Structure 1
């Protein structure tokens, strides 16, 4: 009987925690974006992080998959540190470099635009055009 009560107590505690962090409730009152020195600060990075991941995955697919291509580290880190431009129309454009696994030199530049509704457009995928840009 004691083991059953412990199991029930654990189940109730976990259920309470799960309801407390419900994604439905987490964005009930999102903080608006604001401008500082000409840079838009995005307080809700969920959409931007999703867009970053979609852009990276599009470049991976365009370059033959993970066996042939790796995106630069900034495309795996936090979204606010990724190389993006907010286009002001509900989309972001990511410009980043990649390389072949086992190599140490970037040799591919990808420019991918992702809209908040998940539409993806590979604008450019080829040789690096400007070294000074990065």
Structure 2
């Protein structure tokens, strides 16, 4: 009897494994394309990675998570984060941060991240006038 239960479990797990086959996923995502001069990114895995690297660089530059939190847009979807595609394989993120629990932003950070993971903190200091940037 125990052998039949084990065999039934093995068959059930095998069926689940086949049903969730990676061959059904989209292995060839659609390429990027241009629409009225705006670049549309269909596969934003690299952009999301860059956003996370930029946020982490700001966290390090400002003393860690015990002292600093980036604005909510740096924790959400990458397409809604404050970035500029520089057209040369890099993205520049300009965002604000504050002390944990505070709703008043006190720090502005500008970080440029390349597709190969290189990070450069371009600015980290007082919030500047948005017209001066």
**Structure 1: 5+ residue stretches without partners:** none
Q: TM-score, with normalisation over the residues of structure 1?
A: 0.86
Higher gyration radius (CA):
2
**Structure 2 gap ranges (5+):** none
Aligned-pair CA distance for 1:7: 2.3
Evaluate the alpha carbon distance shift between residue 66 and residue 14 of structure 1 in structure 2; reply closer, same or farther with a 3 A threshold: farther
CA RMSD of aligned residues (A): 2.1
Distance 2:131 2:19 in 1: 49
Q: Deviations over 1:100-134 (max 9, x none)?
A: 0122200000100111111111111111012568x
CA distance in 2, matches of 1:62, 1:3: 57
The separation in 2 between residues aligned to 1:95 and 1:7, in whole angstroms, is: 53
- Superposed, 1:1-134 pairs within 5 Å as 1-17=3-19, 19-20=21-22, 26=26, 28-131=27-130
Secondary structure in 2 matching 1:129 = coil
The number of aligned residues is 130
Which whole-Å deviations, capped at 9, do the CAs of 1:18-52 have from their partners, x for residues lacking one? 54169xx74x4232212223321111111000100
> Which aligned segments of 4 or more residues in structure 1 are displaced greater than 4 angstroms?
none
